[in-house]
Amino acid sequence: MAKKAFEKRERNLNTNQIEVYRELAEFREKRYDMERMKHIITFVFVILEALVI
Q: Which domain holds residue 25?
A: 1-53
Widest CA span in the chain: 78
Q: Is 22 left (phi over 0), alpha (psi -120 to 50) or beta?
A: alpha
How would you write the pLDDT of the chain (53 residues) with one tens digit per residue? 677 776 777 777 777 788 888 899 999 999 888 999 999 999 999 999 999 87
pTM over 0.75: no
User: What's the pLDDT at 47?
Assistant: 94
Q: What is the pLDDT of residue 1?
A: 65
Q: How many domains does the chain have?
A: 1
